[in-house]
Amino acid sequence: MASYQHTFGGERWHFDGLRDLLAKATPLRSGDALAGIAAASAVERMAARMALAEVPLKAFLNEAVIPYESDEVTRLILDTHDTAAFAPIAHLTVGDFRNWLLAHDTDSAALAAVAPGITPEMAAAVSKLMRNQDLIAVARKCRVVTRFRNTLGLPDRLAVRLQPNHPTDDLRGIAASMIDGLLYGAGDAVIGVNPATDSIAALTGLVQMLGEVIATLQIPTQACVLTHVTNTLQMIEHGAPVDLVFQSIAGTEAANAGFGISLALLKEAREAALSLQRGTLGDNVMYFETGQGSALSANAHHGVDQQTCEARAYGVARAFSPLLTNTVVGFIGPEYLYDGKQIIRAGLEDHFCGKLLGVPLGCDVCYTNHAEADSDDMDTLMTLLGAAGLTFIMGVPGADDIMLNYQSTSFHDALYLREVLGLRCAPEFAAWLERMQITDAGGRLLPASASHPALTQLRQWRIGA
């Protein structure tokens, strides 16, 4: 393990390996302080950043922050590294890499070409040298396009996950929220329900109901019940019409084991979903969620800072070609991201790192009620992410998730972003909204009417008990 040092502020600073250097260079956040790995002062943090800027990118291929022998995520990252894609940037230091990313000549095509050669640790390292505006400027140039029943990630588009959760999984309650969201133009990313139950029969009923709504209204979108991957596998085995397989993932083998998963299990689930051949435009069948602090909360971070662990989770996601991946940025709580400032920074870092690695990155712009954050902070973050080319956000009735008990973004928030930033929904979904007389040709909502074709069709359709 190499030692890194830098003279700054009249003092010689020493850092024991890349793991220590990355942690000390990270912007202040409560999780790293809780773990005892954060810089002790702003001076030490700046010294670490200056030392990190001088580290060759090649060093991340020779020194693993978590040992290769004991962590399958490390093995995945290094064994699948694309040396040909890495070649154009192989001679750069982390500081040089930042300059290359920000250069005008480094366009979307160049970024897509090098993405398979960038490791999560490289992405995390360069993000630590960037201001918020740098994270936005580079992420905006990164384009990751995925398809299942519609096309996500195109320029000047912003998709919305319609999240019609219900505390008792009541089908009528879920359907009411779903129709509410559709009439606001939400749902092109996915109609995704977090279930309150693990009952396979109840979960299957949810999958079937979501599928029936999509089929009845001929909506060019996909459904997902966000249950554990093993439950989804059981539903597939029993013939349920599963569109997407969901799973929360993390950046270390130990943290994933805490979730009850392994890379082999994710591979099995993806193959099972592909076998159903339910996609009409593409075969991106996985949906992943992540969040800074998940590895630390499971005591499975191995002394690695939470943002680098998060970037490693995107390395896991990348291996399974997901339709959607999102960071639930403020959900874990103030122990990991203390206030609005830390949540905003983390959201921009996550989006940047995911997009840089070639992962379709969305964000649940959210906070828990005991964090030092409020809706104004969320307005700021979602606006910044919209400018950065975010793939999708959440659409929750009233922004208040009554099942998961946290604050997220509403259908109206998506309308605001699309209006202010000149964004549209997925093209196939936009055409459906116009056809159903929900929006006009320009994408603006039409006045609500009891004669909406969508409502007319649903009146003739009965939801099962």
pLDDT one digit per residue (tens) for the chain, 465 residues: 788 988 888 899 999 999 999 999 999 999 999 999 999 999 999 999 999 999 999 999 999 999 999 999 999 999 999 999 999 999 999 999 999 999 999 999 999 999 999 999 999 999 999 999 999 999 999 999 999 999 999 999 999 999 999 999 999 899 989 999 999 999 999 999 999 999 999 999 999 999 999 999 999 999 999 999 999 999 999 999 999 999 999 999 999 999 999 999 999 999 999 999 999 999 999 999 999 999 999 999 999 999 999 999 999 999 999 999 999 999 889 999 999 999 999 999 999 999 999 999 999 999 988 899 999 999 999 999 999 999 999 999 988 887 778 889 999 999 999 999 999 999 999 999 999 999 999 999 988 766 676 666 666 555 443
Among candidates 465, 423, 426, which has minimal Cα distance to 444?
A: 423
Alpha-carbon distance of 145 to 322, in angstroms, equals 10
Alpha-carbon distance of 159 to 221, in angstroms, equals 11
CA angle 296, 301, 329 (to 5 degrees): 45
Given the structure tokens 């600073």, which residue do they identify? 13
- Who's near 460: CB < 8 A, 6+ residues apart? none
Alpha-carbon distance of 26 to 42, in angstroms, equals 10
Q: Which amino acid belongs to residue 223?
A: A
Cβ(359)–Cβ(144) below 8 Å: yes
Residue 240 tokens, joined = 């349920």
pTM: 0.96
- Who's near 417: CB < 8 A, 6+ residues apart? 158, 382, 383, 386, 393, 423
> Taking the CB of residue 135, how many other CB atoms lie within 10 A of it?
26
Alpha-carbon distance of 274 to 283, in angstroms, equals 7
Q: Return the beta strands (E) in 194-315 as ranges.
A: 223-225, 245-248, 286-290
